């Protein structure tokens, strides 16, 4: 299983989503590839936001080795599933991918917890630390739902 988590800058939400799902998959003995990317390119090459790193570390997850990268159209060839953190991120994925966009591979991550809710994961970038904890909790639940959905069945 190859999963890509996507947000705008790839320094707050998607690095947390990557770290959470990767750890949970490994804890279940699954050899999944989990990665993350951003659609705006403002932070390419940077480490995750310090508060994302702090909140992850409080849960025993080290995301300090991650580096922000740009989402590219070729990601549709590499990944089985692409999870967007928000509706505007899906719009950017469509724009970047153009003819390579495959709607069957892309969904809002919170739709795994609440199907059809189309709920965004809020961007904690401008807020204080509690927002990062809220995002962690949302992504933790989504990761459990993803694992429960795909760990037993062959995705393809």
Q: Is 62 a catalytic residue?
A: no
Q: Is 50 a catalytic residue?
A: no
Catalytic residue among 12, 13, 69, 75: 13
Planar angle of CA 151, 155, 156, nearest 5 degrees: 160
Strand 81-84, strand 106-108: pairing: parallel
d(CA 95, CA 91): 6
Strand 106-108, strand 33-38: pairing: unpaired
d(CA 73, CA 68): 16
Catalytic residue among 35, 69, 75, 123: 123
Q: Is 7 a catalytic residue?
A: yes
Catalytic residue among 7, 12, 35, 75: 7
Of the CA atoms within 13 Å of residue 145, those in its CB half-sphere come to 16
Active-site annotation, residues:
7, 13, 123
């Amino acid at each position: 299983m190859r999963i890509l988590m996507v947000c705008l800058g790839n320094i707050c939400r998607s690095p947390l989503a990557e770290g959470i799902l990767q750890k949970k998959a490994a804890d279940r003995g699954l050899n999944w590839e989990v990665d993350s990317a951003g659609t705006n390119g403002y932070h390419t090459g940077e480490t995750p936001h310090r508060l994302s790193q702090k909140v992850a570390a409080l849960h025993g997850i080290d995301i300090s080795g991650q580096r922000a990268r740009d989402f590219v159209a070729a990601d549709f060839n590499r990944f089985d599933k692409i999870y967007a953190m928000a509706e505007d991120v899906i719009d950017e994925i469509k724009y970047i991918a153009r003819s390579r966009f495959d709607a069957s591979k892309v969904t809002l991550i919170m739709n795994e917890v609440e199907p059809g809710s189309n709920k965004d994961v809020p961007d904690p970038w401008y807020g204080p630390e509690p927002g990062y904890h809220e995002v962690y909790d949302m992504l933790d639940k989504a990761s459990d739902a993803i694992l429960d959905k795909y760990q037993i069945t062959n995705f393809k």
